[in-house]
Structure 1
Amino acid sequence: MEVLVPAFLLALLAQPADRPALLTAILADRFKRPISVALAAGLAHGIGSVLAALAGAAVGPSLTPEAQSLLLAVALVAGAVTGVIRAKLPSRLDRWRFGPLVTPLLGVFVVALGEQTQFFTFALAAGGTPWLAAAGATLGALVVAMVAATLGEAGWTRLPLRWLRFAASLLFLLAGIVIGLGALRLTG
């Protein structure tokens, strides 16, 4: 259970700054079915989280506990760096005619590949309990997708996402430094 809550919180903090949430809001407006779009986006995040967790589970046993902690520290610092970079507007997928379930499922899955939430999930899964890491990340991303879909593009872009992105990046940086110093045994 010790990775479920961190994975949830990391996804909850990272997702508002990432492109999948904005794409979810755009598609919810387009299809006028916010719940369907949010659930499809949540499923896309779930698939990506499971893949990241499987990769973490494959790598984790070959790492020492210190290396596992260092991997998480690197993920947090990388998340802090990418969090301050403004996400470009994703393609609106105007030419995709797959409907309100398949379009957000495929679109969000593709846009979310390699985003910071998946890196966090990978690092947490490498430390153990990959299914809980995937579940926590999926739930956190689903909460953000629900809010984005409910608000729509206009409501989502009115949120103070820039300040949230900077605050989350600062938290990621501080946590990454503390965990990294502990992994390197540079703290008492």
Structure 2
Amino acid sequence: MDPLVPALVAVLLAGVGDRPALLSAILADRHGSAATTAGLVAQAIGFALAAVGGMLVAPYLTPNARSLLLALALLSAGGAALFPARIKDRLDHWRLPGWLTGFLGIGILALGDRAQFLVFALVARTPDPVAGTIGATLATIALCSAAATLGERGWQQLPFRVIRPVVAGLLLLSGAIIGLGALRLL
């Protein structure tokens, strides 16, 4: 199965309460849409690198190991979804142009994030790096565009206390099912 839709859904779920969307809202308030667009480009590059890594690792893994890797990615994303996103550095002291602040700030924040781990694991399971990158990028565009449109105040007023447990439950349940299937216990 092609990883476009699974990557879209997994990254959309994992990114709802994540830090890149929150930073996009903060930077959109301060610098406008150029910062958010540059941040999206940085995240797309990160997804492409994760997808290429997944494609390179896939031949060395057995089918059960690939499924177990995906289960681990889903379980870790589900566990992390239980905790609220906090930004320690709001990038107030950066004196770079807005687009460069967005590119570097969101790119650094998203580097090695749970969404990239999900793309890596999905592409390792079904080696199609282009579809995995496109699906994850579409999900990120939707999330960061919504966050930028709402702004920081509007984004933080969303009912994340309700959203986080639901998202975590979906990710943890799907990770557990895939993991038990990979271990041949289901």
TM-score class, shorter? over 0.9
* Counterpart in the other structure of 2:173: 174
Q: Is the 8 Å Cα contact of residues 27 and 36 (structure 2) preserved in structure 1?
A: no
Report how far residue 49 of structure 1 moved: 0.4
Which of the residues 55, 58, 67 maps onto 2:56? Answer: 58
* Counterpart in the other structure of 1:42: 40
Whole-angstrom CA distance in 2 between matches of 1:41 and 1:162? 26
* Counterpart in the other structure of 2:24: 24
SS of residue in 2 equivalent to 1:17? coil
Which of the residues 68, 71, 74 maps onto 1:73? Answer: 71
Q: Is the 8 Å Cα contact of residues 38 and 142 (structure 1) preserved in structure 2?
A: no
Whole-angstrom CA distance in 2 between matches of 1:112 and 1:168? 19
Question: Is the deviation greater in 76-85 or in 95-104?
Answer: 95-104
Report how far residue 90 of structure 1 moved: 3.9
* Counterpart in the other structure of 1:132: 131
Identify unmatched segments of 5+ residues in structure 2.
none
Whole-angstrom CA distance in 1 between matches of 2:112 and 2:167? 18
Report how far residue 109 of structure 1 moved: 0.6
Q: Is the 8 Å Cα contact of residues 71 and 175 (structure 2) preserved in structure 1?
A: yes
Q: Which amino acid aligns with 1:5?
A: V
Whole-angstrom CA distance in 2 between matches of 1:51 and 1:105? 16
SS of residue in 1 equivalent to 2:64? helix
Report how far residue 167 of structure 1 moved: 0.9
Report how far residue 159 of structure 1 moved: 0.5
* Counterpart in the other structure of 2:81: 83
Report how far residue 107 of structure 1 moved: 0.3
* Counterpart in the other structure of 1:152: 151
TM-score, scaled relative to structure 1:
0.94
* Counterpart in the other structure of 1:114: 112
Whole-angstrom CA distance in 1 between matches of 2:175 and 2:123? 16
Report how far residue 99 of structure 1 moved: 1.9
Report how far residue 97 of structure 1 moved: 2.1
Root-mean-square deviation (CA), in Å?
1.2
Deviations 1:64-84 (A, max 9, x none): 111111100011011111111
Whole-angstrom CA distance in 1 between matches of 2:157 and 2:55? 39
Report how far residue 11 of structure 1 moved: 1.2
| Corresponding residue pairs, total | 185
Report how far residue 20 of structure 1 moved: 0.7
Q: Which amino acid aligns with 1:67?
A: A
Report how far residue 100 of structure 1 moved: 2.3
* Counterpart in the other structure of 2:162: 163
* Counterpart in the other structure of 1:103: 101
SS of residue in 1 equivalent to 2:16? helix
Q: Which amino acid aligns with 1:123?
A: A
Deviations 1:107-127 (A, max 9, x none): 001111122101100101111
1:13 matched to 2:13? The reply is yes
Whole-angstrom CA distance in 1 between matches of 2:59 and 2:88? 36
Report how far residue 13 of structure 1 moved: 1.1
Query: Identity, % of aligned pairs?
Result: 48
